[in-house]
Structure formats: structure tokens, C-alpha cells
Amino acid sequence: MTDENALYAVSPLDGRYSGRTEALAPYASEAALMRARVEVEVEYLLALTDLDAIPLTLADDEAAALRAAYEEFDSEDAALVKRIETEGARGYDATNHDVKAVEYFLREHAPQRAHAWIHFGLTSEDVNNLAYRLLVAGAVEDVLVPELRAVRDELVDFAHEHADLPMLARTHGQPATPTTFGKEMAVYAARVGRAIGRVEAASDDLAGKLAGASGTWAAHHAAFPDVDWRGFSRSFVESLGIAYVEPTTQVNPSDDLAALFDAVSGANGVLEDLAVDAWLYVSQRYLGQEAAAGETGSSTMPHKVNPIDFENAEGNLAKADSDLDFLGEYLTSSRLQRDLSDSTVKRNVGAAFAHCLLAYRKLGDGLDAVTPNEAVLREDLRANPEVIGEAVQTILRREGHDDAYERVKELTRGERVSLDDFRELFANLDVDENTRDELLSLTPETYVGVGADVARDA
């Protein structure tokens, strides 16, 4: 789409953001669906020729020509399929049926004697459910997962580079036991890594059906009752790299898609949490942002550098999850043996994935543009010395002081204290000099446990 045409797009995915979502076009566009349908129809026809019962043989060059129909499928082919569907072309009346249009298109690439065997015994859903799973698997494995890995790798780099940088933690929004910036990034890196594993597993479990108009192979069996159509269908579906599901109605129940959408939504939940935390770190000045030359942060406040990438990511993740939840719930229901409402809904899978892709890239842009502000981090630690209270009472417990918690609580709860206040407490404690020296050495900047080790292990 040209820049001028993009200004008139109904959806921002094909308008404002078209340059960022085009990587999904080979998997989510109408032309992609056409090509995938052609692939399923071709491979099904070729699989039929391997059955002894089917009186059709194809020469190697004929098989190659058929495979070229999807391997070399281009914009002109897509336009022809659309014309056959909507206007009629090549001697065919308008089908007003997208799968039938693909069948007629394929006749242009097959010898006359093969025409009767194209789409033999199939219902449209046999073709569509397999085509969609080829596309969905490709979109996830070739586009979404690599972007998720890029975010994870960026987080790992942050974890390693800033493993030792101390940072005040906040639990319930209040100053808490210090951590390191690298360790916090390691937490997110690990969470994203686990989420990627769940997404990949769900993608590997995508399952297809091929069982006719109501899941009984009725037409197949009527024509060739001696063929093991159930075994044939399993072998064919698995040859496409898709798991096999049986029994079904006319439709694949789509539990596999729901599981995949749930896994992607889970990954998005982790990233939304990260986007919000990054936004908060920017607002606290824990993270500094690079100002892009010539960029405007506010139409009225010239000084502003807004965390717009994190905000954009957050919004797109929320939109993606809303769409994915809807898809997972809707596609697993079908009235009786089949209703058509899922057909229009499935066409929106690409939009949900596009919002995911936008979010992953915006989050990556945001992480690229920030760096920890060490001075602010250390200043905040020094301003909250009360956080060493946990260490103090724990060491005193070790030394047998059963009132340790209460004594530190009396000093610190709801109060602003200084290290001098702690030193006064230590001076009045009944402890040996080694323990007193241990307590005196405590500072918020060094009270980070093994956080740095955790970060380096990311």
C-alpha cells in the first residue's frame, strides 16, 4: 500500500502501521490464504494418486507443474482466483465461493484427466482448516517467535551488563529490600523464555482434520469403500507437518488454536508487565531515554521525552490479548455439526498477530532507547536506609535476640531514619564486636544478596 493510500485505510494495521506489519502478509493476507489452499488441494490430489484404487497417474513434470501452482503463486494468480470468485473468468461463472474458485484455478495447472479428482470428496473446511494451520504455524514460528526472542535477548544483555547495579526495590509501591537492575531484567528474560517455550509447544501441537462434510468420510467411503480413508487422512495431514485430530464434525474443533492463542496471550501478559514496569522506571528516572533528533515529545511542552514506545507496546498488547481471548473462545464453538460464523472470525487471526508484532517491535525500540541512570538509583538507595532493617533483624535473630523484629520495627516503621539512627541502635545492642562490625557495614547499596549472580546466570 502506498503512503497516500495508507491514509485512507480503515484499519491502522494497513494504514499507519502497515510498514511494521508487512512481515505477516505472507501468512495473514487473503492472497496467503489462497496460496495455502492451493497447496493443500495440490498435495491432496498428489496423495490420491498414490492410492491403488484411484485410476489417476501423473507424470513427474505434471506433478511439478501442480506444485509450481503454489510454490510460484503470485499477485496475478491471486487476482485470478478473486476474479473467478467474484466476476467469473477463464470460462467459469462467478463462484461466489472462495474455495471453489481455488478448485477452478487449479484446473488451469492440471491436465484435463485430473480435473475430476481435484477437491475429490472434500468439504471446504477440510481445505480451510489445514490451510489456516499452515499459515498460523508459519506466522508464529517465522515472525512472532523471532521477535519474542529478540526481546528476550535484549533483556539478557541488560541483565548481564547491569548485574551489579544496585536498585531500590518496591513492594506494594513502597521502598523494599534492594535488588539489582540486572536481576530484575533477568526475571523478565526468564519469564519471556518460558513463554516462548509454551508458544512453540502449542504451535507444534496444531492439528488438522480431513473427514468430509460431517466427519464421517461419507463421500469418500461411498466412492471407494475398500480404501482406509481414516488412515489415508492421518498420513496426509501429518505429511503437511500438522498433527492429526479425529473425530470431528465438519469443522475442526479448534481446541489447538485456542491453546496457541492462550500461549501467545500468556507471553503478551509478561511483556505488558514489562512495559508497565519500564514506564514506571522512566517516570522515576531510574531509566534515562535517548532523545531522537528532531522528534517532538509534546505539542506544548518542549522539554518532554515521552516513553511512547512502552505505551504503544502496552496498548497493542492489550488489544492483541482481547482479540486472542475472543478468538480462542469463539472458534471452539460451532452449532451442531457446522455453522459458518467461524469463517469470518478466522480472518481476524492476522489482525491479532499484527497487534502482537507491533507490540514486540515497539517494546524492543523502547528497550533500545533506555539506559539505567546510576546516579539516580544510588541516590534513591541512600535516601531510604530503613531498607536494611530486614538484614538487621535477621542477623540479630541469628544471634538469639527474640525481640529483634520488634526493636527494628519500633525504629523504622512509618519513620524516616538515617544510618546514624541505626548506628545508635547498634551501639546499645548486647552483641559481640564482630557482629557489631557486621551490622555497621550494612548499607542499602550493598544489601543485594546474590542478585548479581542471578543476573549473570540469565
Average model confidence (pLDDT) across the chain: 94
Cell of 348: 481476524
**Side chain identity, residue 41:** E
Average pLDDT over residues 270-292: 92
High-pLDDT (> 70) share of the chain, % = 96
Q: Tell me: do 258 and 305 sit in the same domain.
A: yes
Q: Is residue 66 part of a domain?
A: yes
Contact yes or no for 220/227 (Cβ under 8 A):
yes
Residue 10 pLDDT more than 90? no
What CATH number is attached to the domain comprising 450?
A: 1.10.40.30
Average pLDDT, stretch 429-438? Answer: 93
31 and 95 in a single domain? The answer is yes
Confidence of residue 303 (pLDDT cuts 50, 70, 90): very low
Is the preceding omega at residue 247 within 30 degrees of 0, hence cis? yes
For residues 324-335, average pLDDT: 95
pLDDT (average), residues 251-258:
97
- pLDDT score, position 290: 78
Q: How far apart are CA 235 and CA 237, in angstroms?
A: 6
Asked which of 378, 396, 429 is the last residue of a domain, the reply is 378
Instruction: Give the pLDDT confidence of 119-129 residue by residue, as tens digits.
Output: 999 999 999 99
Same domain? For 350 and 392 the reply is no
Q: How far is CA 185 from CA 108, 193, 375, 442, in A?
A: 56, 12, 19, 25
CATH code for position 82:
1.10.275.10
What sign for the dihedral angle of Cα 30, 35, 40, 44?
positive
Which of 378, 402, 423 corresponds to the end of one domain? 378
Catalytic residues, by residue number, are 172, 298
For 17-76, the pLDDT digits (tens) are: 888 999 999 999 999 999 999 999 999 999 999 999 999 999 999 999 999 999 999 999
pLDDT, mean of residues 266-283 = 97
Count of CB atoms situated within 10 Å of the CB of 283: 10
Angle at 425 between CA 421 and CA 427, to 5 degrees: 115
Q: Is the pLDDT of residue 295 over 90?
A: no
DSSP H helices, 295-418, are 308-330, 341-346, 349-368, 374-382, 389-398, 404-412
Largest CA distance in the chain: 101
Whether the pTM exceeds 0.85: the reply is yes
Residues 406 and 449 both lie in one domain: yes
Does the pLDDT value for residue 140 go beyond 90?
yes
Mean pLDDT of 342-350: 94
- Annotate 70-116 with DSSP letters as a single string: HHT--HHHHHHHHHHHHTEETTEEP-S-HHHHHHHHHHTTS-GGGGG
% of the chain with per-residue pLDDT over 90 = 86
Both 293 and 191 in one domain: the answer is yes
The residues, any chain, with a CB within 8 Å of residue 12's CB and separated by 6 or more, are none
Amino acid at 140: V
pLDDT tier at 404, thresholds 50, 70, 90: confident
**Residue 412 or 268, more confident:** 268
CA angle at 388 for the pair 384 and 393, rounded to the nearest 5°: 140
Q: Are residues 234 and 311 in the same domain?
A: yes
Write down the pLDDT at residue 300. 45
Q: Give, for 287, the enclosing helix (H) or strand (E).
A: strand 287-289
Residues 355 and 389 in one domain: no
Confidence of residue 302 (pLDDT cuts 50, 70, 90): very low
Q: Where are the beta strands (DSSP E) in 182-250?
A: 207-208, 243-244
Q: Are 284 and 381 in contact (CB under 8 A)?
A: no
Q: How confident is the model at residue 296 (pLDDT cuts 50, 70, 90)?
A: very low
User: What number is the average pLDDT over the span 345-361?
Assistant: 97
Q: Which of 237, 223, 204, 258 is nearest to 126 (CA)?
A: 237
Last residue within a domain, chosen from 89, 117, 145: 117
Residues 276 and 352 occupy one common structural domain: yes
Domain that holds residue 280: 124-378
In this structure, the chain runs to a length of: 458
How confident is the model at residue 416, as a pLDDT?
A: 80
Read off the pLDDT of each residue in 154-158 and give the average, rounded to a whole number. 97
CATH of residue 217's domain is 1.20.200.10
- Band of the pLDDT at 301, cuts 50, 70, 90? very low
Task: State the cell numbers at 208.
Answer: 488438522
pLDDT at 413: 80
Alpha-carbon gap, residue 257 to 254, rounded angstroms: 5
Q: In sequence order, what are the residues at sequence separation of 6 or more whose Cβ sits closer than 8 angstroms to the Cβ of residue 226?
A: 53
Quote the DSSP letter at residue 170: E
Position with higher pLDDT, 103 vs 415: 103
pLDDT given for residue 3 in this prediction: 65
Question: pLDDT by residue (tens digit) across 169-221?
Answer: 999 999 999 999 999 999 999 999 999 999 999 999 999 999 999 999 999 99
Q: What mean pLDDT do residues 434-454 have? A: 96
Cα 349 to Cα 78, 257, 306, 334, distances in angstroms: 20, 10, 31, 17
Same domain? 371 vs 396: no
**pLDDT for 101:** 98
**φ and ψ of 147, to 5 deg:** -70, -40
pLDDT for residue 332: 95
User: 210 and 143 in one domain?
Assistant: yes
**Structural domains of the chain, count:** 3
The CA-atom distances, in angstroms, between 168 and each of 26, 163, 164, 274, 282 are 46, 14, 13, 17, 14
pLDDT at 425: 87
Residue 29's SS3 state is coil
Residue 217 falls inside a structural domain? yes
At 417, list the grid cell: 531514619
| β-bridge pairing 174-180 and 92-93 | unpaired
Q: Supply the Cα-derived Rg of the chain in whole angstroms.
A: 31
Q: Please check the confidence at residue 443 and state whether its pLDDT lies above 60.
A: yes
Same domain, 110 and 154: no
